[in-house]
């Protein structure tokens, strides 16, 4: 019989929740693994990504499965899934706007890595990208900070 170790802080690998057939089982395992009042930081793809929206229209709904995603999340869907498991969502932030999406996808843009890697250029790019993601212009990832409900809140843990 195995021993279950509980932890105070869990970071679930970026983007992998969308790749498992039963995300509810993974979320439940994360919940059980967290100590009372433990923290979960989760990053997963959104349904709002510009590359996802474009490929959905050009290649059809099966494109995401070709790249390994079984689902993508909206703010409502991921928060509902976490809350159904027993987590309390504390904060939701969108990451990686259309700028980073297209930079990652296009080799021609990446050829200028010597320019993109300059600290001032990188800082300006990241600032613009974060601003656009927060303005909700095609964010490709969603980051959720959630806490495990305390036992005294009426939730069985």
The domain segmentation of the chain, as residue ranges, is 7-96+139-150
Return the CATH architecture of domain 7-96+139-150: 3-Layer(aba) Sandwich (3.40)
Q: Which pLDDT score, from 0 to 100, does residue 13 have?
A: 58
Q: Which pLDDT score, from 0 to 100, does residue 147 have?
A: 93
Q: Residue 81 is encoded by which pair of tokens?
A: 């899934």
Q: Which pLDDT score, from 0 to 100, does residue 5 have?
A: 57
Q: Which pLDDT score, from 0 to 100, does residue 3 have?
A: 43
Q: How far is CA 140 from each of CA 50, 51, 94, 134, rounded to the nearest angstrom?
A: 7, 8, 8, 11
**Residue ranges, the chain, pLDDT below 70:** 1-7, 11-15, 100-113, 116, 136-137, 150-157
Q: Which pLDDT score, from 0 to 100, does residue 156 have?
A: 46
Q: Which pLDDT score, from 0 to 100, does residue 1 have?
A: 35
């Amino acid at each position: 019989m195995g021993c279950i170790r509980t932890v105070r802080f869990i970071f679930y690998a970026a983007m992998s929740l969308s790749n498992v057939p039963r995300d509810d089982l993974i979320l439940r395992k994360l919940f059980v693994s967290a100590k009372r009042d433990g923290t979960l930081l989760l990053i997963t793809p959104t349904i709002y990504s510009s590359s996802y929206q474009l490929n959905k229209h050009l290649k059809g709904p099966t494109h995401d499965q070709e790249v390994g995603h079984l689902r993508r999340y909206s703010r409502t869907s991921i928060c509902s899934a976490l809350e159904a498991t027993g987590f309390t969502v504390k904060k939701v932030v969108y990451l990686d706007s259309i700028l980073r999406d297209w930079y990652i996808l296009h080799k021609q843009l990446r050829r200028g890595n010597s320019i993109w890697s300059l600290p001032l250029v990188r800082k300006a790019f990241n600032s613009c990208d974060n601003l656009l993601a927060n303005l909700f212009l095609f964010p490709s990832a969603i980051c959720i900070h959630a806490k495990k409900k305390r036992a005294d809140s009426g939730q069985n843990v």
